[in-house]
Amino acid sequence: MKYVIGLDYGSDSARAVVVDAESGKELASSVKYYPRWTEGKYCVPTANQYRQHPQDYIDVLEYTVKDALSKCPAGTAENVVGMAFDTTGSTPVFTDKEGTPLSMLPEFAENPNAMFVLWKDHTAIQEAQEINDLCAKWDIDYSSYEGGIYSSEWFWAKALHVLRSDEKVRSAAYSIVEHCDWLPGLLVGKTKPEDICRSRCASGHKAMWLEKWGGLPSEEFLTALDPLLAGYRDRLYTNTCPSNQKTGTLTAEWAQRLGLTTNVAVAVGAFDCHMGAVGAEVKPGALVRVIGTSTCDIMVSSYEEMGDKLIPGICGQVDGSVIPGLVGLEAGQSAFGDVYAWFKRVVAWPIEQSDLIDAETKKKIIDGIIPALEKEAAKVPVSESTILATDWMNGRRTPDANQAVKGTITGLNLGSSAPLIFRALVEATAYGSKAIVDRFIENGVEIKEIIGIGGIALKSSFVMQTLADVLNMPIKVAKAEQACAFGASMFAAVAAGVYAKVEDAQSAMGMGFAKEYYPNAENHKMYQALYEKYCKLGAFTEKEF
pLDDT tens-digit readout, 286-301: 999 999 888 999 999 9
pLDDT at 403: 84
pLDDT at 480: 86
When pLDDT is averaged across residues 142-165 and rounded to a whole number, the result is: 95
Q: What is the mean pLDDT of residues 513-527?
A: 96
Instruction: Determine the average pLDDT of the residues in 59-77.
Output: 97
Spatial separation of the C-alpha atoms in residues 72 and 74, rounded to whole Å: 6
> How far apart are the C-alpha atoms of 192 and 334, rounded to whole Å?
32
Whether the pLDDT of residue 401 is over 90: the answer is no
Mean pLDDT, the chain, integer: 96
User: 282 near 323, Cβ under 8 Å?
Assistant: yes
**355: exposed, middle or buried (Cβ count in 10 Å: 0-12, 13-18, 19+):** exposed
For residue 292, the model assigns a pLDDT of 86
Q: Is residue 310 very low, low, confident or very high in pLDDT (cuts 50, 70, 90)?
A: very high
Cα distances from 25 to residues 17, 330, 499, 516, 537, in angstroms, run: 10, 28, 16, 22, 47
* Domains, the chain, ordered by start: 3-121+157-202+245-280+482-509 (3.30.420.40), 337-478+515-544 (3.30.420.40)
Supply φ then ψ for residue 4, to 5 degrees.
-135, 155
pLDDT of residue 481: 85
Rounded CA separation 162/174 (Å) = 13
239 pLDDT more than 90: yes
Report the C-alpha gap between 147 and 368 in whole angstroms. Answer: 40
Residue 189 has pLDDT above 90, yes or no: yes
- Is the distance from CB of 156 to CB of 224 less than 8 angstroms? no
pLDDT on residue 112: 98
Q: How far is CA 136 from the centre of its chain?
A: 27
Assess whether pLDDT exceeds 90 at residue 404: no
DSSP code at position 73:
P
Parallel, antiparallel or unpaired: strands 286-291 and 295-301: antiparallel
Q: Is the pLDDT of residue 545 over 90?
A: no
